[in-house]
Amino acid sequence: MGCTCNSNDKEKLFCSGVLVDNRPGAILPPQEAWEKKKGGYVVIECPQRIPCNPCATSCPTGAVKPFADINDVPSIDYEKCTGCGLCVAKCPGLACFVVDLTYGADEAVIKLPYELEPKPAKGQKVKCLNRTGEEVSEGEIYTVTEPLKDQTTVVSVVIPKKLVGEIRAIKVVC
Amino acid sequence: MELIQKHPILEFHHGKEVTFTFDGKDMKGFEGEPIAMALHANDVRIYRVTPEMKRPRGFFCAIGKCSSCFMVVDGVPNVRTCVTPLEAGMKVETQHGKGQVPLEAK
Amino acid sequence: MKKTIETDLLVVGGGAAGLCAAAEAAGAGAKVTVIESDLHPGGQLVKQTHKFFGSKDEYAGTRGYKIADILLDEIKSLGDRVDIRTNTTVTGYYPEEGIFTAMKGEDEYYRIKAKKTVVATGAQERLIPFPNNDLPGVYGAGAVQTLMNVYGVVPGKKVLMVGAGNIGLIVSYQLRQAGVEIAAVVEAMPKIGGYWVHAAKIRRLGIPILLRHTIVEAVGGKVIEGAVIQELDDKFQLIGEPKKIDCDVICMAVGLTPTTELFWQAGAKMQYCPQLCGHVPFRDNTMRTSNPDIWVAGDASGIEEASAAMVEGRIAGFSAAKALGCKVNEISFKEYWTRLDHLRAGEVGEKIRGGICQVLVDGWEA
């Protein structure tokens, strides 16, 4: 496998809230379809069974499949996902993202939830952070919306395509 | 005063700004908000000094259950400043030890 | 000045559980008096800027402080059946006379004669022992929330958060939203106690969560100026080198303990239950204690969550109203228990279930 990290370290990271591999509730979309999907697919990172289901109840197409039990982790029907991003705004855990790989040859767009000040503006350059808050690249704000008018801003950021598996937050510098 | 200027979720609606005194010094606060909030906004953290070991005490629980925030207010000791509303002209003082309960009513 | 308040149902505590109990009982026709020691009702709900979990019935996806408004709107719609008295603290229960006493401010005293009572007094912040843990600057996490979310006061410049349960993780995020820097979150256990997603959203903002770490001492002369933290081994013994952290606030999120003085004074049967985080009253499935006139709901019955507190409040309010002779719909009772069981059904509910079964009785004789 060529993995050099100690599996103990990986679990330690996961135990402190950092996703280290794909697992139920935290998976990536099927690669081939994802590369062609204009508008992108949802990427949810919610690997723990907790009593919570707004992602499913807010999804207008049923792409986030209805929960049999409120404690289930989310599971996705990609055929139905339009990349609308309503779940991004609705999720209480800020665990939903939308990633569109069709933006450009080397660039992708990620929609992520943002609830800090200052708010970014369209066209602004921001720092892009990975799951441990390290700055891994720059990004450009594509759109800023507030779909549910409830102070959760959904920001679309243009990022390097090779970092779609890593970037999960932004830092706005004035 | 150390107030939050812009918050991503909340809007703060403070009431009327009033003047009160802390250990004789004039300070500003918002009427109807707990005394402890006004003190904290004015960077006052020490509310009382304990009777035996003379340790400084201040804010802790904010729900009137722990006794850490007792101060002398308008001459009355052991006032829970975290849940007592500020009034204009209030005289707030650091409580030293157990405080002295006034024998006459206000 | 002594006054007597007479009411059908007294609700001690106007937080999530208390407001739900009041709404439920008033909906069934009872005359309700809610006594709340804070300056406004809503309890811990009013400080919660984050969106709640759970299901639609528990307002999932709605910010906590809005839920308080929703409950108060429901109460308002019931006309003047509910009297909410804020800035008033219940100071004791006298079983010989069956009355409660209360105090408003420093010189208004009341005796309260209620036919039935729901005690929903919530909980209070715990503290762990370390040198200088009494200095100003060591604040309960709930207290920090009150400062920044209710009154818009900056709590400090740099915070050390002790405890990575839901409260520690959520308040860290809220501190960041208020523009305050977090030096670190320290957690003695090998993994976070709160929801993984709460941790993920602060980790991606660069807030460190140091597992197997504890605070060894607070540093400061008259106020907090810093802290010393250190790593623990799997037997909770200190290892490695102590690390100095710069901070002016040490936020304690190390657990809550139920506020139960009134139950003791009422002579209710109590039990120490570690899973419920302290001494709690025995209760039957109507949330009635061994005292036939006193019910319990919310964190006072055992530390849990806001969503469970609200449903317990409904159950207690329903049952107290029924005991008062009000007309109630038994279907609601079944529905509430179904919701409560669902909330507790998952892995994260295991501890609670283990606790509840120690203090749940099948019924009371007479």
How high is the ipTM of this complex?
0.94
CB contact (8 A) between residue A151 and residue B9: yes
C259 touches chain B (CB under 8 A): yes
CB contact (8 A) between residue C346 and residue A50: yes
Q: Which of C32, C106, C114, C43 has the alpha carbon at shortest distance from C75?
A: C32
Structural domain includes residue B9: no
CB contact (8 A) between residue A49 and residue C346: yes
Fold category of C2-124+256-359 in CATH: FAD/NAD(P)-binding domain (3.50.50)
- Look-up: residue for tokens 């849990």? C304
Q: Which amino acid is at C318?
A: F
CB contact (8 A) between residue C139 and residue B60: yes
Interface of A with C (CB under 8 A): 12, 15-19, 45-54, 57-58, 69-71, 90-95, 115-117, 129-134, 150-152, 168-169
State the count of interchain CB pairs (< 8 A) between A and B: 10
- How close, in Å, is residue C330 to chain B by CA atoms? 36
Burial C216-240 (b: 16+ CB within 10 A, else e): eebbbeebbebbbbbbbeeeeeeee
* DSSP per-residue codes, A34-95: HHH-TT-EEEE---S--SB-HHHHH-SSS-BPPPSSTTPPP-B-GGG-----HHHHH-TT--
CATH code (residue B29): 3.10.20.440
Query: Mean pLDDT of all residues in chain B?
Result: 93
Q: Where residue B33 falls among pLDDT bands split at 50, 70, 90? A: very high
Look up the domain containing B89 and give its range. Answer: 17-95
- Ordered alpha helix ranges (H), chain C: 16-27, 64-76, 141-145, 166-177, 196-203, 261-265, 306-323, 330-343, 350-359
How many domains does chain B contain in total?
A: 1
For chain C, residues classed under CATH 3.50.50.60 are: 2-124+256-359, 127-252
Is the pLDDT at A2 greater than 60? The verdict is no
Binding partners of A (≥3 Cβ pairs within 8 A): B, C
- Helix axes C306-323 and C64-76, enclosed angle (nearest 10): 20
Structural domain includes residue B55: yes
CB contact (8 A) between residue A117 and residue B9: no
- How close, in Å, is residue A123 to chain B by CA atoms? 20
Where are the domains positioned within chain A?
A: 22-171
Structural domain includes residue B75: yes
- How close, in Å, is residue C351 to chain A by CA atoms? 13
Q: In what helix (H) or strand (E) does residue A13 lie, and over which residues does it extend?
A: helix A7-15
Residue among B37, B63, B79 whose CB faces C151 most closely:
B37
Is the pLDDT at A6 greater than 80? The verdict is no
Contacts of B73 (CB under 8 A, 6+ apart): B35, B79, B81, B84, B90, B91, B92, B93, C106
Is the pLDDT at B105 greater than 70? The verdict is no
Structure tokens at B90: 């209030």
CB contact (8 A) between residue C153 and residue B3: yes
| Regions in chain C scoring below 50 on pLDDT | none
Whether the CA torsion C221, C223, C229, C234 is positive or negative: it is positive
pLDDT digits (tens, 9 = 90+) for C41-67: 999 999 999 888 887 787 888 899 999
Query: Mean pLDDT of all residues in chain C?
Result: 95
> How many Å is the Cα radius of gyration of chain A?
16
CB contact (8 A) between residue B55 and residue C89: no
- List of chain C residues whose C-beta atoms are within 8 Å of the C-beta of residue B62: 139-140, 142-143, 146-147
pLDDT digits (tens, 9 = 90+) for A48-71: 998 899 999 999 999 999 999 888
Q: Which of C257, C173, C230, C241 has the alpha carbon at shortest distance from C207?
A: C173
The hierarchical CATH code for the domain C127-252 is 3.50.50.60
pTM exceeding 0.90 = yes
